[in-house]
Amino acid sequence: MADAGHEVVGIDFSEESLKIARQKNPDITFYREDILCDYSYIGVVKGIIVIAGLVHIETIKLPLAFEQMGKVLKKDGKFLISVREGVGRMTDKSLCEIVGEQYDRNFIAHTLEELKIAADGLFSYQCELKSDICGWKNYVFNRI
Protein backbone atom coordinates (compact mmCIF):
# COMPACT_ATOMS: atom_id res chain seq x y z
CA MET A 1 0.00 0.00 0.00
CA ALA A 2 2.86 2.34 0.82
CA ASP A 3 4.51 1.49 -2.52
CA ALA A 4 1.26 2.56 -4.22
CA GLY A 5 1.59 6.01 -2.62
CA HIS A 6 -0.74 5.59 0.33
CA GLU A 7 0.15 6.73 3.82
CA VAL A 8 0.13 3.58 5.95
CA VAL A 9 0.09 2.96 9.69
CA GLY A 10 0.05 -0.40 11.40
CA ILE A 11 -1.36 -1.69 14.67
CA ASP A 12 -0.60 -4.99 16.37
CA PHE A 13 -0.84 -6.37 19.87
CA SER A 14 2.37 -8.40 19.57
CA GLU A 15 5.65 -6.59 20.13
CA GLU A 16 7.46 -9.42 18.33
CA SER A 17 5.21 -9.02 15.26
CA LEU A 18 5.78 -5.27 15.33
CA LYS A 19 9.54 -5.77 15.50
CA ILE A 20 9.41 -7.81 12.28
CA ALA A 21 7.05 -5.33 10.62
CA ARG A 22 9.29 -2.38 11.51
CA GLN A 23 12.37 -4.16 10.14
CA LYS A 24 10.62 -4.92 6.85
CA ASN A 25 8.88 -1.52 6.61
CA PRO A 26 11.13 1.13 8.21
CA ASP A 27 9.17 4.04 6.69
CA ILE A 28 5.82 2.99 8.19
CA THR A 29 4.67 4.01 11.67
CA PHE A 30 3.52 1.10 13.82
CA TYR A 31 1.70 1.18 17.14
CA ARG A 32 1.44 -1.51 19.79
CA GLU A 33 -2.29 -1.53 20.51
CA ASP A 34 -5.19 -3.75 21.36
CA ILE A 35 -7.94 -3.70 18.73
CA LEU A 36 -10.46 -3.47 21.59
CA CYS A 37 -8.93 -0.27 23.02
CA ASP A 38 -9.21 3.34 21.89
CA TYR A 39 -6.44 4.08 19.37
CA SER A 40 -8.13 7.13 17.84
CA TYR A 41 -4.97 9.13 18.63
CA ILE A 42 -3.54 7.76 15.34
CA GLY A 43 -5.98 10.00 13.47
CA VAL A 44 -8.57 9.35 10.76
CA VAL A 45 -7.85 6.86 7.99
CA LYS A 46 -9.45 6.17 4.61
CA GLY A 47 -9.30 2.40 4.86
CA ILE A 48 -8.65 -0.43 7.28
CA ILE A 49 -7.36 -3.91 6.51
CA VAL A 50 -7.56 -6.52 9.26
CA ILE A 51 -5.93 -9.80 8.31
CA ALA A 52 -6.69 -12.46 10.95
CA GLY A 53 -6.95 -9.70 13.55
CA LEU A 54 -10.26 -10.91 14.92
CA VAL A 55 -9.34 -14.58 15.36
CA HIS A 56 -8.48 -13.96 19.00
CA ILE A 57 -11.57 -11.82 19.69
CA GLU A 58 -14.55 -13.53 21.30
CA THR A 59 -17.80 -13.04 19.38
CA ILE A 60 -19.32 -11.11 22.27
CA LYS A 61 -16.49 -8.53 21.96
CA LEU A 62 -16.79 -8.02 18.19
CA PRO A 63 -19.05 -4.94 18.57
CA LEU A 64 -16.32 -3.25 20.64
CA ALA A 65 -13.71 -4.01 17.96
CA PHE A 66 -15.98 -2.48 15.30
CA GLU A 67 -16.67 0.52 17.54
CA GLN A 68 -12.94 1.21 17.92
CA MET A 69 -12.34 0.88 14.18
CA GLY A 70 -15.31 3.16 13.56
CA LYS A 71 -13.56 5.89 15.57
CA VAL A 72 -10.68 6.06 13.09
CA LEU A 73 -12.28 5.20 9.76
CA LYS A 74 -13.67 8.15 7.85
CA LYS A 75 -17.28 8.14 6.66
CA ASP A 76 -17.61 6.03 3.50
CA GLY A 77 -14.20 4.50 4.20
CA LYS A 78 -13.66 0.84 3.36
CA PHE A 79 -12.86 -1.91 5.79
CA LEU A 80 -11.46 -5.26 4.56
CA ILE A 81 -11.52 -8.10 7.04
CA SER A 82 -10.12 -11.61 6.72
CA VAL A 83 -11.59 -14.13 9.17
CA ARG A 84 -11.64 -17.86 9.70
CA GLU A 85 -15.14 -19.00 8.76
CA GLY A 86 -17.01 -20.91 11.43
CA VAL A 87 -18.60 -20.62 14.84
CA GLY A 88 -16.71 -20.17 18.08
CA ARG A 89 -13.46 -21.51 19.43
CA MET A 90 -11.36 -23.77 17.22
CA THR A 91 -9.51 -25.93 19.75
CA ASP A 92 -7.22 -27.47 17.12
CA LYS A 93 -6.04 -23.97 16.15
CA SER A 94 -6.02 -22.60 19.70
CA LEU A 95 -3.56 -25.02 21.27
CA CYS A 96 0.02 -24.93 20.06
CA GLU A 97 3.55 -25.61 21.20
CA ILE A 98 6.34 -23.11 20.67
CA VAL A 99 9.88 -24.03 21.70
CA GLY A 100 8.58 -26.73 24.00
CA GLU A 101 6.05 -24.50 25.74
CA GLN A 102 2.27 -24.97 25.44
CA TYR A 103 0.13 -21.97 24.49
CA ASP A 104 -3.60 -21.41 24.19
CA ARG A 105 -4.13 -18.70 21.57
CA ASN A 106 -7.93 -18.86 21.89
CA PHE A 107 -8.51 -19.03 18.14
CA ILE A 108 -12.08 -17.94 17.30
CA ALA A 109 -13.89 -18.47 14.00
CA HIS A 110 -16.61 -16.02 12.93
CA THR A 111 -19.51 -16.07 10.51
CA LEU A 112 -20.55 -13.26 8.21
CA GLU A 113 -23.78 -12.97 10.19
CA GLU A 114 -21.83 -12.43 13.43
CA LEU A 115 -19.78 -9.72 11.74
CA LYS A 116 -22.87 -8.00 10.34
CA ILE A 117 -24.50 -7.97 13.79
CA ALA A 118 -21.31 -6.57 15.38
CA ALA A 119 -21.02 -3.89 12.68
CA ASP A 120 -24.66 -2.82 12.85
CA GLY A 121 -25.08 0.94 12.91
CA LEU A 122 -21.42 1.67 12.10
CA PHE A 123 -20.65 -0.33 8.98
CA SER A 124 -22.63 -1.83 6.13
CA TYR A 125 -21.65 -5.06 4.47
CA GLN A 126 -20.56 -4.61 0.84
CA CYS A 127 -19.25 -7.87 -0.59
CA GLU A 128 -17.08 -10.95 -0.24
CA LEU A 129 -13.71 -11.12 -1.97
CA LYS A 130 -12.37 -14.47 -3.13
CA SER A 131 -9.90 -16.17 -0.79
CA ASP A 132 -7.23 -18.59 -1.95
CA ILE A 133 -6.93 -20.04 1.56
CA CYS A 134 -9.40 -22.77 2.49
CA GLY A 135 -11.62 -21.84 5.44
CA TRP A 136 -10.83 -18.12 5.32
CA LYS A 137 -13.25 -15.44 4.15
CA ASN A 138 -12.55 -11.87 3.06
CA TYR A 139 -15.33 -9.34 3.55
CA VAL A 140 -15.60 -5.67 2.67
CA PHE A 141 -17.63 -3.29 4.83
CA ASN A 142 -18.31 0.41 4.34
CA ARG A 143 -18.26 2.98 7.16
CA ILE A 144 -21.74 4.50 7.42
Q: What DSSP string describes 59-87?
A: GGGHHHHHHHHHHHEEEEEEEEEEEEBSS
What share of the chain in percent tops pLDDT 70? 96
Sort 111 into a burial class: Cβ within 10 Å, 0-12 / 13-18 / 19+: middle
Q: What's the pLDDT tens digit per position in 37-64?
A: 999 999 999 999 998 889 889 999 999 9
Range 94-99 average pLDDT: 72
pLDDT above 90 for 95: no
DSSP 8-state class, residue 88: E
